[in-house]
């Protein structure tokens, strides 16, 4: 029987979750368990986690009663949530169960960019969860990571765009493109989290992890250097972006979250370590100060791979 502390990672088969699970297993300091819906047990992503050493547990949080959920999380030292953003509300009953079961540390599903209330609906939902966590009295750590390298380089090849409209939208440059924003490589997210959840300094704290702070002008330089030297950009103003947000709200378009992020990052400049440290944004601890020995992947390194 393992004597290592147990970490339950909900959403462990997703992109963020898989990065976290891999890093936890690599440190060999934890027994890592990943609840997975029974219908997803045989998916390649689940099988890959099992091969790496994670214990896969068939479990559906959405259909579980409070008593069943409390029994399920009993014995866990730490719970990390990396669930899909459409299921954030499931965390409320998970927090109650974790508190009743004596879980020592709860990490809700954040892993995004810092910011004020009233700018992004999704971020407001995450802030609501944080308030509930604090009110519950359970030990916690809130973790933001800026924006992923993997999601924000400018597309110079339409075939690489996740969806067609991103091919052009990725090259919208706001107000000259000189505002800084923080980025982290997906693999480094897991490495940061694995350090954070064993650090007593981060208990009951908000933590900001980041790799680099760059501007849209920097993104353009990488696109020109490694993608297409004649890449076309589309200059936009704050008013242009506000119009896109208003249209998305009126027509209930799925692009709203994307434009909200752009407004927060490129207009308000909220996604920086300096902003995250402000008391009104949470008073974050800086992982680059907590772990000065940690090496992060440079964005340019990823850009070379991306454009190749």
Q: Is the pLDDT score of 1 beyond 60?
A: no
* Residue 233 and residue 129 share a domain: no
- For the segment 110-115, the average pLDDT, to the nearest whole number, is 97
* Residue 18 and residue 69 share a domain: yes
User: Per the domain annotation, does 300 fall within a domain?
Assistant: no
pLDDT recorded at residue 93: 97
Local confidence band at 142 (pLDDT 50, 70, 90 cut-offs): very high
Cβ atoms of 137 and 99 closer than 8 Å: yes
pLDDT recorded at residue 162: 84
- For the segment 187-202, the average pLDDT, to the nearest whole number, is 97
User: Per the domain annotation, does 301 fall within a domain?
Assistant: no
User: Per the domain annotation, does 54 fall within a domain?
Assistant: yes
* Residue 170 and residue 87 share a domain: no
Containing H/E element for 56?
strand 55-58
* Residue 47 and residue 97 share a domain: yes
Taking only the tens place, the pLDDT of each residue in 217-271 is 999 999 999 999 999 999 999 999 999 999 999 999 989 999 999 999 999 999 9
* Residue 15 and residue 85 share a domain: yes
Range of the domain at 36: 6-146+185-209+271-294
The residue among 106, 135, 300, 126 whose CA lies nearest residue 211 is 300
* Residue 140 and residue 36 share a domain: yes
User: Per the domain annotation, does 299 fall within a domain?
Assistant: no
The residue among 77, 150, 74, 64 whose CA lies nearest residue 111 is 150
Give buried/exposed letters for 230-251 (b at 16+ CB in 10 A, else e).
Answer: eeebeebeeeebeebbeebeee
* Residue 103 and residue 25 share a domain: yes
User: Per the domain annotation, does 243 fall within a domain?
Assistant: yes
pLDDT recorded at residue 2: 61
* Residue 103 and residue 45 share a domain: yes
Taking only the tens place, the pLDDT of each residue in 10-32 is 999 999 999 999 999 999 999 99
Is the whole model's pTM more than 0.75, yes or no?
yes
Local confidence band at 152 (pLDDT 50, 70, 90 cut-offs): confident
What count of residues does the chain have?
308
**Secondary structure string (H, E, C) spanning 140-165:** EEEEECCEEHHHCCCCCCHHHCCCHH
pLDDT recorded at residue 149: 93
* Residue 111 and residue 259 share a domain: no
* Domain CATH number, residue 11: 3.40.50.720
What domain count does the chain have? 2
* Residue 238 and residue 127 share a domain: no
pLDDT recorded at residue 3: 78
Q: How far apart are CA 9 and CA 83, in angstroms?
A: 9
pLDDT recorded at residue 114: 97
- For the segment 283-291, the average pLDDT, to the nearest whole number, is 98
* Residue 132 and residue 88 share a domain: yes
Percentage of the chain modeled with pLDDT above 70 = 99
User: Per the domain annotation, does 92 fall within a domain?
Assistant: yes
* Residue 68 and residue 43 share a domain: yes
């Amino acid at each position: 029987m393992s004597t290592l502390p147990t970490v339950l990672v909900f959403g462990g088969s997703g992109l963020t979750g898989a990065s976290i699970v891999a890093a936890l297993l690599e440190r060999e300091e934890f027994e890592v368990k990943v609840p997975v819906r029974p219908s997803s047990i045989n998916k390649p992503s689940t099988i890959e986690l099992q091969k790496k050493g994670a214990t896969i547990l068939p479990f559906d949080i959405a259909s579980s009663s409070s008593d069943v959920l409390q029994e399920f999380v009993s014995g866990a030292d730490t719970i990390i949530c990396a669930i899909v953003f459409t299921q954030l509300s499931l965390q409320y009953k998970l927090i109650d169960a974790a508190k009743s079961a004596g879980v020592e540390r709860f990490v809700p599903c954040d892993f995004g960019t810092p910011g004020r209330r009233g700018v992004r609906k999704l971020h407001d939902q995450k802030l609501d969860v944080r308030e509930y966590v604090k009110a519950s009295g359970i030990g916690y750590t809130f973790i933001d990571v800026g924006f992923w390298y993997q999601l924000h380089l400018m597309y110079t090849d339409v075939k690489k765009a996740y969806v067609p409209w991103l091919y052009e939208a990725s090259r919208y440059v706001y107000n000259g493109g000189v505002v800084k924003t923080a980025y982290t490589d997906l693999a480094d997210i897991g490495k940061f989290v694995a350090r954070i959840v064993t650090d007593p300094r981060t208990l009951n704290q908000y933590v900001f992890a980041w790799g680099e702070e760059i501007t849209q002008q920097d993104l353009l330089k990488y696109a020109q250097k490694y993608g297409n030297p004649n890449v076309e950009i589309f200059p936009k103003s704050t008013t242009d972006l506000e119009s896109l947000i208003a249209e998305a709200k009126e027509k209930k378009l799925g692009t709203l979250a994307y434009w909200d992020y752009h407004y927060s990052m490129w207009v308000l400049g909220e996604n920086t370590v300096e902003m995250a440290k402000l008391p009104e944004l949470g008073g974050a601890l800086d992982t680059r100060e907590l772990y000065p020995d940690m090496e992060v992947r440079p964005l340019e390194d990823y850009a070379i791979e991306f454009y190749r």
